Amino acid sequence: MRCLYVDLDGTLLGPGGSLLRGSGGRFALDGVRALQACDRARVEVVLYSGRRQQSVFEDSRLIGSSSYIFELGCGVVVDGELEWLTDGIVPSDSDGTIHDQIGRSGAPKLLLNRYAGRLEYHTPWSEGRDVSHLFRGCVDLDEVGAVLRDAGFGWLRLVDNGIVHEHAGRMPGLPVVRAYHLVPAGASKARAVARHMQARGYGPRECIAAGDSREDMDTSQVLDTFWLVANALERDPELGVQASRLERVRVATAPYGAGVYEAVVTTLSEGS
């Protein structure tokens, strides 16, 4: 094992986005132990997240990692070098950020009008972003994809990044509230992981990933093993059904950082 790709919120980080909180919000050191086990085994740790670049950079700096993936794979940083994986849609002085460009296209307004009452900005986390427009709600992604294509926005896609509880009470009419990112269609966590592996010369059998959402689980397309932390199934039982159909997906018995620790030590022991 040479690399661990790990999601932040709901995976390495526990309730409230804390590295030191686990199930039930209790103090826990399992996430730190997972990082320590990787360090002792000389395993690189790469954070991959839907968070904006500055936020992921700060967390990477805190754990001593020189590479990270942000905004659901829209960008990857390897040893300080940034590469956009957005198929030519990049920030510029004339056009502004990718977030600005998506906003000016009218696509976010189209979706908010079409799905009024079922989709809204996921404030305050939707503010100050570099790339994606972040929403909360409950929509059919296949239907949304068709709406975007029909309106000439095939260069964008709406990504399900998991169930959210923060501010979900503002949408009481929905059976469940999910976080959605509107991003350039070619961007994904799986693509970013594959790009980092290529840059480092890692093979699929030398790396694992851990996460709590469908977008995270898609990294199983480029890795031999993806670990789904247990709390992901508590939030979204349908994930378990999907995971059972994928040979490369394993489900940890523990949640949050403890699940990441389980993934790391299990993989290391099986490889010894």
**Residue 90 included in any domain:** no
Assess whether 177 and 106 both reside in one domain. yes
**Residue 161 included in any domain:** yes
Residues paired with residue 251 on neighbouring β-strands, in sequence order? 228
| Contact residues for 58 (Cβ-Cβ < 8 A; gap 6+) | none
Assess whether 120 and 255 both reside in one domain. no
Assess whether 108 and 159 both reside in one domain. yes
**Residue 92 included in any domain:** no
pLDDT digits (tens, 9 = 90+) for 177-221: 999 999 999 999 999 999 999 999 999 999 999 999 989 999 999
Mean pLDDT of 10-39: 94
Beta strands in 132-218 (DSSP E): 133-137, 156-163, 178-184, 207-211
Mean pLDDT of 123-139: 94
What percentage of the chain has pLDDT greater than the value 70?
99
Is pLDDT of 142 > 80?
yes
* Structure token digits, residue 255: 């949640």
**Residue 263 included in any domain:** yes
Assess whether 80 and 158 both reside in one domain. no
Which of 157, 147, 233, 225 minimizes the C-alpha distance to 188? 157
Assess whether 206 and 178 both reside in one domain. no
pLDDT digits (tens, 9 = 90+) for 90-109: 999 999 999 999 999 999 99
Average pLDDT of the chain is: 94
Q: What gap in Å lies between CA 126 and CA 141, rounded to an integer?
A: 19
Residue that is last in its domain, among 184, 215, 232: 184
Assess whether 70 and 121 both reside in one domain. no
**Residue 47 included in any domain:** yes
Assess whether 236 and 109 both reside in one domain. no
CA 234 from centre of chain = 18
> HSE of 21 in the Cβ direction (CA atoms, 13 Å)?
12
Assess whether 66 and 193 both reside in one domain. yes
Instruction: Give the total number of structural domains in the chain.
Output: 2
Which of 63, 66, 35, 70 minimizes the C-alpha distance to 49? 70
Is pLDDT of 272 > 80?
no
**Residue 60 included in any domain:** yes
DSSP states of 17-48: GBTTB-GGG-B--HHHHHHHHHHHTT-EEEEE
Residue 109 is predicted with a pLDDT of: 98
Read off the CATH number of the domain in which 55 is found. Answer: 3.40.50.1000
**Residue 91 included in any domain:** no
Residue that is last in its domain, among 149, 166, 184: 184
Q: Return phi, psi of residue 192, to 5°.
A: -65, -40
**Residue 261 included in any domain:** yes
Assess whether 138 and 195 both reside in one domain. no
Residue that is last in its domain, among 134, 161, 184: 184
> HSE of 171 in the Cβ direction (CA atoms, 13 Å)?
25
Assess whether 151 and 229 both reside in one domain. no
Assess whether 78 and 198 both reside in one domain. yes
| pLDDT top residue among 238 and 157 | 157
Assess whether 175 and 194 both reside in one domain. no
Give the domain extent around 174.
98-184
